[in-house]
Structure 1
Amino acid sequence: MLTDPAKAGVPRPGVRDWIAGARPRTLPLSIVAVVLGTGVAAAGDVTGSGYFGRDHHLLIAVLCLVVALGLQIGVNFTNDYSDGVRGTDTFRVGPPRLTGAGRATPDAVLDVGLAFFAIAAVAGLVIVLITQLSWMLLVGAVTIAAAWYYTGGRRPYGYRALGEVSVFVFFGLVAVLGTQFVQTRHATLEGLVGAVSLGLFASGVLMVNNIRDIGPDQQAGKRTLAVVIGGRAARTAYAVFMLLPYLLLLVIVPEHPLVLIAAVSLVLAVPAVLAGIRARNAPGLITSLQLSSFTSLVHGIVLAVVLVVSTAR
């Protein structure tokens, strides 16, 4: 049951507060993973009908999108809750959070986060019922647990420099290859390259976000990878995360020469990296963060389209 903010002495949050709490600028990471996973599934299916037929292809893709967005929005709210009740957000320099800024009660924020986890779980269950891939239930359970323990629980791994590893695995490998597998029951080299690429972009987005928060996180005792390795090394790692996906394209160029078109996203990646390396204040790093997220979106969509076109030729 949601706690009434007014009774708790907290102003009732408005619609804009809840939308901001979902962190919409980060959601392209989930959307593009499903788009690319569906693209490589279609590219790997030369008949165009898919393992389950064309209609089921579309239904499963939509369900995958619900799962991905439900999990990401859920983790955004539960992170808001966990960081708020720990006092971590007391020191933050970025946009204020619902819990830390006192815009909503902790219970309300937690309940919203858990509700989105439930939505993702129901959509995932429907996928399992359609595909009969019962072992995917374990994948879903692990994913939800990882989302919660990122900043929740007594020993959150997000406070132990493992955030980039987590987003690489779940926003890249699990999201892209999982989307491909439930549609076709197999994974391909193209899917793996796409998954690793998006995992690297997601790591870059998190890294530049954590570079901005190095000072506040140190004060709060939150040991992100950026805190552990220091600002200079963190900026170098960020550049590697953002640029390595373009080298990975070379792995599938012999089979799909047109994938080099996906390098068009460099027009976003390069300014993002330059901003991330040069910026010395929060606004500059926020610009880098936004460009990084948009880079991932453009790269993944273009790569998906090119792979489908290349296979159809």
Structure 2
Amino acid sequence: MATGSQWIEAARPKTLPASLAPVIMGIGGAIGLGQASAGKSALALLVALFLQVGVNFSNDYSDGIRGTDAKGKRVGPQRLTGAGLAAPRTVLAAALSCYALAGICGIALCVWAGTYALIGLGVLAALAAWFYTGGKHPYGYLPGVAEVMVFAFFGLLAVQGTIWVQAHTLPWRTWVAASGIGLLSCALLLVNNLRDIPGDRQSGKNTLAVKLGDKGSRYLFACYLYAALVLGVLSFSVRWEALVFGLAMAVGVSFPMMKVLQGARGKDLIKTLKQVGQITLGYGLAVAVQWALQGL
């Protein structure tokens, strides 16, 4: 039976700051537009939190029953199902409970804001979370599809949805910054899959990293970081602040980028994953503060 600490590890708390970053950015946008609501912001954060934990548990369940996380194949953090620490149905129940809580918070937010169309997008987000590794034909096993979904839901929808339910307007700068943080989410996914290339090849998980190979994945990772940096700078409305942000980002991304380009593998990539998560959070906070103080 899994211990409490093992359940916490399976929830992968290190992924949570990066999943909350786009919502924080959206809250900053709403403040900059003079339409922020503490209650709506809190609900948006809860939706992101429960969805991310649900994704982590459902990936644990789905990869575990497929044998993707079988002993000797996995390099990353220990999984409950694959390691036999918890019954698959228990892990599944945890995932579905998180999705249900995300749904309750999301519906309450949409009803409060009068944006009922977003309920449909929320349902699509939950389905995308489940079918990443769930179902008979998970798209997480197909090259490129997962990246598109991550960009759309953890970038565009998370930022723009948070702004829309509060301000009902989406200035062009918000699209630029949302695209940037979406690319950082793609970089997180790529590092994770780069680390798991050997095991994924063995178990038939044909991710984009498997398709591109080791060298191509490392170059794509650098492109994600550079593109996100440029988009972040363009989203600032004050030039000197954009310059400071750009320089800080350039220094920040240089560490994980050089590690990856120099051939970091296995557990070293786990550290890189943490660094990119921190950069994503910093990126979201910096843009949010700029928008909140300078307006949109």
Report the TM-score, using the length of structure 2 for normalisation.
0.95
* 1:49-93 C-alpha deviation (Å, 9 max, x unpaired): x2xxx5xx1100000000011111001100100000000011112
The yes-or-no answer on 1:216 pairing with 2:178 is no
The yes-or-no answer on 1:278 pairing with 2:274 is no
* 1:269-292 C-alpha deviation (Å, 9 max, x unpaired): 110111112234312211211111
Q: Shift in Å at residue 250 of structure 1?
A: 4.4
| Closer, same or farther: CA 306–152 of 1 in aligned 2, 3 Å | same
CA contact (8 A) 1:259 1:307 kept: no
| More off after superposition, 261-270 vs 66-75 | 261-270
Partner of 2:250: 266
CA contact (8 A) 2:180 2:231 kept: yes
Aligned pair count reads 291
**Identity, % of aligned pairs?**
38
Partner of 2:104: 122
Q: In structure 2, which of residues 12, 15, 25 is the aligned counterpart of residue 26 of structure 1?
A: 15
Larger relative CO (CA 8 A, sep 6+): 1 or 2?
2
* 1:91-120 C-alpha deviation (Å, 9 max, x unpaired): 112222010011111001000010000000
- Structure 2 CA distance, aligned partners of 1:39 and 1:142? 25
| More off after superposition, 27-36 vs 219-228 | 27-36
* 1:213-251 C-alpha deviation (Å, 9 max, x unpaired): 101000000000000111111000011111211212343
| More off after superposition, 258-267 vs 82-91 | 258-267
Rg larger in structure: 1
- SS in structure 1 of the partner of residue 206 of structure 2: coil
Q: In structure 2, which of residues 51, 66, 80 is the aligned counterpart of residue 71 of structure 1?
A: 51
Q: Shift in Å at residue 144 of structure 1?
A: 0.6
The yes-or-no answer on 1:131 pairing with 2:120 is no
Q: Shift in Å at residue 188 of structure 1?
A: 1.3
**4+ long deviations beyond 6 Å:** none
- Structure 2 CA distance, aligned partners of 1:216 and 1:149? 20
Alignment of 1:23-102 (within 5 A): 23-43=12-32, 45=33, 48=34, 50=35, 57-90=37-70, 91-102=73-84
Alignment of 1:225-264 (within 5 A): 225-253=208-236, 255-257=237-239, 258-263=241-246, 264=248
Q: In structure 2, which of residues 116, 120, 123 is the aligned counterpart of residue 141 of structure 1?
A: 123
* 1:106-161 C-alpha deviation (Å, 9 max, x unpaired): 00100001000000000011112211111111111111111110000000000001
- Structure 2 CA distance, aligned partners of 1:172 and 1:281? 27
